[in-house]
Amino acid sequence: MTLTWADVGLRVVLTMLAAAAIGYDRDVEGHPAGLRTTILVALAACLSMVQANWLMNSVGKAPDSFVVLDLMRLPLGILTGVGFIGGGAILKHSDSIHGVTTAATLWFVTVVGLCFGGGQIGLGVSGSVLGLLTLRVLKLLEVKLLLQRRVSELWMKWKIDQFDAPAVLSALRVADLQISKFALREDTVARVQELRCFLRRQALRDEHVLPSELAEMTRRPGVLEWEWKD
């Protein structure tokens, strides 16, 4: 019921360490809500619970008073505010939705901050560890499960004097693409060559974009036209 500055310091430090670990993981992955955002959100939640803990001794009312102090409104208001922040982190583009994990991370570090701020140290530590494992370990497992073998088709046309087939094959090897079938045609009158090939690769189920190595190749001088079917 009575807080000391040592108690407050322990709760604040543990909150910042837990939020920093989760925020650093998000920064490494290149997500928008990184180190500073997660620390600020968790710290706000922690301080709100510390304040509620300090006000707990003043709960109650005089016989002639109609004022009631509801301390739970403070953490509930924090969670509501984080809901607005999380809503701003979610973006919808065409048929895909991005930022759901970022919004969930902000909500999660808020709950962790509330745990530490309320004095539930063991619950906060175990929750932080489970959150890190979810973000890091399950990310690797998710990528592995979503990878699939896929056959794609590439068609290119280029000027003979400015580009050649060995350059295309070199780019395919760099992109770790296996050629299953290919056909090379040459028009000596127009001085152009055409390549059509089928490529085997591993990609995510929702990934249907041209690999970056091939995208760079299509921008080279001499490339006239190209088409990628996935």
User: pLDDT digit string (tens) for 143-199?
Assistant: 666 666 778 888 889 898 888 888 888 888 777 788 878 888 888 888 899 988 888
Same domain, 9 and 107: yes
Same domain, 10 and 98: yes
Same domain, 189 and 115: no
Query: Token pair 């970022």 is at which residue?
Result: 102
| H helical segments located in 56-211 | 73-89, 100-117, 121-146, 165-174
DSSP, collapsed to helix, strand or coil, labels residue 118 as coil
Same domain, 102 and 187: no
Same domain, 12 and 98: yes
Name the domain count of the chain: 2
Nearest-angstrom CA–CA distance, 115 and 109: 10
Same domain, 42 and 90: yes
Strand duo 178-187 + 192-204: pairing: antiparallel
Q: Quick check: is 15 in a domain?
A: yes
Same domain, 28 and 112: yes
Q: Is the pTM of this model over 0.75?
A: no
Where does a domain end: 77, 102, 119?
A: 119
- Supply the pLDDT for residue 14: 94
Same domain, 17 and 115: yes
Q: Quick check: is 136 in a domain?
A: no
Q: Is the dihedral of CA 69, 4, 113, 1 positive or negative?
A: negative
Q: Quick check: is 162 in a domain?
A: yes
Same domain, 154 and 209: yes
Angle at 73 between CA 70 and CA 74, to 5 degrees: 110
Q: Quick check: is 108 in a domain?
A: yes
Q: Quick check: is 140 in a domain?
A: no
Q: Are 47 and 28 in contact (CB under 8 A)?
A: no
Q: Are 69 and 59 in contact (CB under 8 A)?
A: yes
Domain residue limits at 34: 5-60+69-119
Same domain, 14 and 103: yes
Give pLDDT < 50 ranges for the chain.
none
Across-strand partners of 226? 156
- Supply the pLDDT for residue 12: 94
CATH label of the domain that carries residue 158: 3.30.70.260
Same domain, 168 and 109: no
Same domain, 202 and 154: yes
